[in-house]
Amino acid sequence: MTRMTRELVVLGTASAVPTRHRNHNGYLLLWDGQGFLFDPGEGTQRQMTMAGVSAHDVTWICVTHFHGDHCLGVPGVVQRIARDKVSHAVQAAYPASGETYWRRLRHAAAFADTSAITPRPVSGDVVRWPAGPVTLTARPLSHPVESYGYRVDEPDGRRMLPEELTARGIAGPMIGELQRAGSVTLGDGSVVSLADCSVPRPGQSAAIVMDTRLCDDVYALAGGVDLLVIESTFLSAEEALATEYGHLTAAQAGQVARDCGVRRLVLTHFSERYSFADEPRFVEEAAKSFGGEIVTARDLTRVPVPRRRP
Binding residues vs Zn ion (CB under 5 A):
15, 67, 69, 211
Distance between CA atoms of residues 283 and 249, nearest Å: 11
User: Of these residues, 32, 39, 57, 69, which one is catalytic?
Assistant: 69
CB of 185 to Zn ion, least distance (A): 58
CB of 144 to Zn ion, least distance (A): 7
Query: Would the annotation count 269 as a binding residue?
Result: yes
Query: Would the annotation count 107 as a binding residue?
Result: no
Query: Would the annotation count 84 as a binding residue?
Result: no
Burial of 14 (0-12, 13-18, 19+ CB in 10 A): buried
Please identify, using beta-carbon distances, which residue of 42 and 226 lies nearer to Zn ion.
Answer: 42
Residue 216 sits at φ, ψ, to 5 deg, of -60, -35
Please identify, using beta-carbon distances, which residue of 67 and 139 lies nearer to Zn ion.
Answer: 67
Please identify, using beta-carbon distances, which residue of 68 and 202 lies nearer to Zn ion.
Answer: 68
Please identify, using beta-carbon distances, which residue of 57 and 211 lies nearer to Zn ion.
Answer: 211
Say whether 113 is catalytic: no
Closest CA to 283 of 299, 267, 300: 267
Query: Would the annotation count 65 as a binding residue?
Result: yes
CB of 78 to Zn ion, least distance (A): 20
CB of 66 to Zn ion, least distance (A): 9
Query: Would the annotation count 70 as a binding residue?
Result: yes
Closest CA to 14 of 26, 29, 1, 25: 25
- Residues with catalytic function: 69
Annotated binding site for Zn(2+): 65, 67, 69-70, 143, 211, 269
